[in-house]
Chains A and B, each alone.
Chain A
């Protein structure tokens, strides 16, 4: 395939030229805007911290060793992973049916539904989290409603718990998942579902054998997106989790504030490497199962 493409391009060198012209600025922006700060961070993470001198030039793995030997940091790390996994899993489970509905309904309803899904994205994370705070608090809507319904005797305190953070992050991430899945599901011919039915597959089998494998690229994309967003969530854990609840992104920021740049850089790198690593693994896994 690539051979044919190259042959085609060789006949028309102007295409090649214009393509590189178009890609050029973006490449430059990525190089300067992302790569350069990362290099700085990488370098910083190997420096040492001193309360008076702040940063001391060095080539030491001390920050990384500190992280992996300290139960506090590891605790934060695993909380972040746990929250991210739970959020992503729930987003898939909730997002798939919603995306399917969107992909298969008629045009007028669909546009309304898409608007409904996109509108929350217009509100910033912090503002949204503030909204959840009024909902979750002990005198908030949820607690009062549960008491009014007689489901709970005392006030329900979700605010400043992991549950609140998970709900908050799901609310932020779900639209991304739904929109990603929807675009993929829309590309799956409806006749394929009917073909499976007429060959004797009941709905659940049809889903497992046809819809799921065909939607897998979209599921992978949505999962990765959702997971990255959850791993790096900042405003939601800070506002809904409260001072006792910690995730990685807020902790990186804390260390910067404490002027411990080397540790902050190391934390940032660990966060990034984990996210990247799991993303690659997820990508490889979907590719494998798509072949098999």
Chain B
């Protein structure tokens, strides 16, 4: 257990930065989750911490010690692979014993710690099985136990849940988090599943194209995203695009939207679906526009309503599914309303036109 610091860490392949100038400070016992789209450099960052990728620049510190140039076997990091990477020729117990044997722990001590670690993931009855005789979920827990049994300073998880089915994933998610908190182990996890990230992290790091875009708690990222990318990646947003002047965004479709102040010029305002009210009569809100329901998705717990406000502007509302409540239909004339606290961002990035909620 130790503090983990990355200082200006970069990885360059020729001219291409897989990771660029990454600064992270993970407190002792904290769980940090790296979140970002495919190819943004999450795995590269994690593998630099584990020692499998040599950084082009920067420093890695574990417990204050500079380990940037230590080989993987001299770092106290426990790595859990996406495909678990259990040794197929060794039983579950011998898989767990491997790391302890490398540390020259006494035989009786090894037996005891292996047993405890297996009990911790509730697999003590499977100690003598070979990995191929286990289910995916069981293999996952063995991999976790194998990484933890050596009591590493830092636990590294690379998409540890992506090979599990949806139901199991939720279960293991809670289990890993509980274990991590009980052991108080400094952890860095990588995922591109935002629900996973939000439910497990102490703090999140949103990455894009090798760079860190924002670091913060769930609430900070959700309520105060620093840019349009973070707003679209953490939680859902509909974007209305136009020109911003003095807190008012004039969309191409002719709407005038009150929003949080932002830089004057081309901008987009991000509107969270659950903050939009849809009603037949105009609701009381700072922004209210008439529109036509384009599409209704009945999701059970909530109802997504897509409302066209102008030929160019669409907003999505997430309505709670209230018993006996009104259910809009496609084609209904309605009003959509939301507050002026919706965030506006400079609209420089073009590719995020696709990030609109559908």
Contact = CB atoms under 8 A, between A and B. Distances in A.
B69 interface: no
B89 A201 contact: no
A199 B89 contact: no
A210 B79 contact: no
Contact of B89 (A194, A197, A200, A214): A214
A194 B85 contact: yes
Contacts of A210: 87
B309 to A, nearest CB: 50
B50 A198 contact: yes
A202 interface: yes
Interface in A176-192: 189, 191-192
A69 B29 CA distance: 77
A254 interface: no
B72 A189 contact: no
A183 to B, nearest CB: 17
Interface in B26-77: 50-52, 71-73, 75, 77
Contact of B73 (A189, A200, A213, A214): A200
A290 B79 CA distance: 26
A196 B99 CA distance: 8
Nearest to A203: B73
Given A189-B83, A191-B81, A214-B89, A196 B98 contact: yes
B85 A201 contact: no
B88 A200 contact: no
A195 interface: yes
B182 interface: no
A202 B87 contact: no
Q: Which of B77, B81, B102 has the most CB of A within 10 A?
A: B102
A195 B89 CA distance: 14
B144 to A, nearest CB: 12
A275 B72 CA distance: 44
A210 to B, nearest CB: 6
Interface string B95-119: 0001100110000000000000000
Given A195-B79, A205-B102, A200 B85 contact: no
B78 interface: yes
A287 interface: no
Interface string A145-158: 00000000000000
A201 B50 CA distance: 13
Nearest to A209: B98
Contact of A195 (B71, B87, B103): B87
Interface in A229-254: none
Contact of B52 (A192, A194, A199, A209): A194
- Which of A194, A205, A210 has its CB near the most chain B CB atoms (within 10 A)? A194
B73 A191 contact: no
A198 B78 contact: yes
A198 B72 contact: yes
Nearest to B83: A191
Given A194-B52, A214-B88, A290-B89, A200 B99 contact: yes
A192 to B, nearest CB: 5
Contact of B98 (A191, A194, A199, A214): A199
B85 A191 contact: yes
B86 to A, nearest CB: 8
State the majority secondary structure of interface residues on B: loop
A206 B98 CA distance: 10
Nearest to A191: B85
B271 interface: no
Contacts of B236: none
Nearest to B88: A214
A195 B85 contact: yes
Contacts of A214: 88-89
Nearest to A198: B79
Interface in B147-163: 147, 150
A269 to B, nearest CB: 38
Among A197, A209, A214, the one with the most B-chain Cβ atoms within 10 Å of its Cβ is A197
A200 B99 CA distance: 6
A202 B51 CA distance: 13
Interface string B114-134: 000000000000000000000
B81 A199 contact: no
A199 B102 contact: yes
A199 B146 contact: yes
B102 A200 contact: yes
A214 B86 CA distance: 12
B81 A195 contact: yes
B31 to A, nearest CB: 19
Contact of A194 (B72, B99, B102): B72
Interface of A: 189, 191-192, 194-202, 205-206, 209-210, 213-214, 290
15 contacts: A189-B85, A191-B83, A192-B87, A194-B50, A194-B79, A195-B146, A197-B52, A198-B50, A198-B77, A198-B147, A199-B146, A200-B150, A205-B102, A213-B89, A290-B89
Given A189-B83, A192-B88, 9 more contacts: A192-B85, A192-B87, A194-B50, A194-B52, A194-B81, A196-B98, A198-B73, A206-B73, A214-B89
Interface of B: 50-52, 71-73, 75, 77-79, 81, 83, 85-89, 98-99, 102-103, 146-147, 150
Pairs of residues from A and B, 5 with the lowest C-beta to C-beta distance, nearest first: A200-B102, A199-B99, A191-B85, A197-B72, A195-B85
